[in-house]
Structure 1
Amino acid sequence: MKFLNIFWNRELRRLRLVPRLLLYVLFYLLSYIGLSILVKLTGAFSITGSLITSGIIEATLTLLVVWSAGKLLDRRPFAGFGFHLNRRWFEDLCFGLALGAGLMAVIFLFEWAMGWISITEFFGTNTMYSFIPTRAFFWGQFFQALVFYFLAAFSEELFFRAYPFINLLEGFQKIKIKRELVAWLAAGLTSAVFGLAHMGNPHATWISTLNIFFAGLMLCIGFIYSKQAALSIGLHFTWNFFQGVIFGFPISGTISPANLIRINQQGPELFTGGSFGPEAGLVGLAAMLLGSFLIIRYLKRRQTFEEQPS
């Protein structure tokens, strides 16, 4: 029985932290492999080729995995992973949306002022077709990218932060240190996985991996101080969308299907991130540090305001 106690929490009637997380990852991998086999057998390549469709599939798969893991492994409702939807939740979402767009605008304006980038054209598309795309074609690609990057941000926040962070935070409660330090420990572990998961991206380097780790920490701050996913989803979405679609930067080594502004980047890669994008450069890292400061300030000021007597 003592051996079983290593894996089973009799008081909560569920698996302990480590086997829960391992089964969660295994469940996701098996679901992903099963879906890939189904797509291959049915020949649904043309369907999944759409950005919007692939985004919906990824988001639905991740949502089902997190919901199922919460129900079967955690005995926790889906709302417990940072989705207590109320007015404050949507306020945090809006703040995250504004912050992601603002930070990327700061990066663009700084590099442009330094002479590291030049604007080559507007309304550009990246397509395999040989004909010159029309303006209508651009807006079609733009809309697809808008939906896709939101769904991708939602999926990544669910998979990399919502489920593992809440579980790690709960599992580390027995450590006799302050709750805030426990939360940062959980954030560090999830961010390390987040960074390593991007090592396979095109043009990835050890610098980009380290910077993605810091990006993960920035995205965890909303969970640390509010236990809600809203701010992180909003920030993740607009950071990527404005990075690739609006300002024409690479997005973690990948190229957006549409660029409102197309640029030629010539600055030092140590600062700009080169072909990987701003996440691999010192300018991007500085923006992450600024963003982290602004998030903490926003959440602590809101908490102070709410604690004031009416």
Structure 2
Amino acid sequence: MDIALIFIGIGFGVFAVVWYRRHDRPVWRSLGITANRWSALDVLVGLVIPLAVIGLVFVAELALGAIEVSAGAEDWSGLGGALGQIVGYALFEEVLFRVLLLSGLVILFRNVAAGRWISVAIVAAAFGAVHLTNPNATLIGAFGTALGGVIYGIAFLATRAIWLPVALHVSWNLSQSLWGFPVSGTTGWPGWVTSTSVGDELLNGGAYGPEGGLPGMLARVVIAALVLVYVKLLWPTGSVTRLEFAPDPVKHLANVA
């Protein structure tokens, strides 16, 4: 990952922390890295949704003749290491892109109409762009990855917590691995089956993986919709237009007091 982007993310994170302190906001809660009553449910929902949707992508690509399926891993001894990598990458990227960069941008655009959505789009574009350095990366694949950034940004701002985006991110990558797909161009992690791309890469994403193909991109849209349904069920008065669902920490604490 570009070291400059890391420093930019840290800079926006420092900006957010300073702003929170100056405005007497609870810093850790505002950054979304404290547990709350919904954290366990966020993790569960975040793990289940991509696992189910990627399963549908597998079925769709198989039906379209876009993949050939062969036996999966015989040796699962590397699963623990693979899972550790998947969780580690997801946690690092969510802290950098959502907790730090997105938090700072939301403050910067707080007085702009649709500022939260604009912030999500900017961070998602950066998220997709950094994946252009991945093996087998393409512009289409980077766009599909950016759609993932939109999902994680929505999840972070809607819940005001890191748990749902991290769980979604982990599950998306793990599910691709388990169904035998490349994960953003990376291979070698064990899966139930091995899925080899054949034919038009628009249908399978080629060596980059499902997010570089139309079924995978459609899956991203479906996941985003399911995330919005989930947060709307938790907070029925929330607004998709403003991308505000979970209670503001300051207002919530004031009500409790």
Q: Return the TM-score normalized by structure 2.
A: 0.81
Instruction: Give the Å deviation of 1:277.
Output: 0.4
Aligned positions of 1:98-247 closer than 5 A: 98-124=48-74, 138-175=75-112, 177=113, 181-244=114-177, 246-247=178-179
Unaligned segments of structure 1, at least 5 residues: 1-21, 30-65, 125-137
- The percentage of aligned residue pairs carrying the same residue is 27
Of the two structures, which has the highest relative contact order with CA contacts closer than 8 Å and spacing of 6 or more? Answer: 2
Matched-pair contact (CA < 8 Å) for 2:9–2:97: no
Instruction: Summarize deviations over 1:231-285 as a string: whole Å, max 9, x none.
Output: 11111001101102x1111111111332331223214201210000011111111
User: Structure 1 residues 24, 142: closer, same or farther in 2, change over 3 A?
Assistant: closer
Q: Secondary structure at the match of 2:132?
A: coil
2:41 paired residue among 78, 83, 91: 91
Q: Secondary structure at the match of 1:198?
A: helix
| Structure 1: distance between partners of 2:197 and 2:169 | 23
Instruction: Summarize deviations over 1:73-122 as a string: whole Å, max 9, x none.
Output: 86473343212302212211111111121111111111122222232112
Unaligned segments of structure 2, at least 5 residues: 239-244, 246-257
Q: Which amino acid aligns with 1:301?
A: L
| Structure 2: distance between partners of 1:23 and 1:192 | 12
Matched-pair contact (CA < 8 Å) for 1:184–1:224: no
| Structure 1: distance between partners of 2:123 and 2:63 | 35
Q: Secondary structure at the match of 2:110?
A: helix
Q: Which amino acid aligns with 1:234?
A: A
Q: Which amino acid aligns with 2:141?
A: S
1:298 paired residue among 213, 227, 230: 230
| Structure 2: distance between partners of 1:199 and 1:71 | 30
Instruction: Give the Å deviation of 1:28.
Output: 6.2
Q: Secondary structure at the match of 1:264?
A: strand
Corresponding residue pairs, total: 232
Q: Secondary structure at the match of 1:295?
A: helix
| Structure 1: distance between partners of 2:188 and 2:134 | 14
Q: Return the TM-score normalized by structure 1.
A: 0.68
User: Structure 1 residues 182, 203: closer, same or farther in 2, change over 3 A?
Assistant: same
Instruction: Give the Å deviation of 1:25.
Output: 1.2
User: Structure 1 residues 305, 95: closer, same or farther in 2, change over 3 A?
Assistant: farther
- Aligned-pair RMSD on alpha carbons? 2.7
Runs of 4+ in 1 over 4 A off after TM superposition: 26-29, 68-76
Equivalent residue number for residue 268 of structure 1: 200
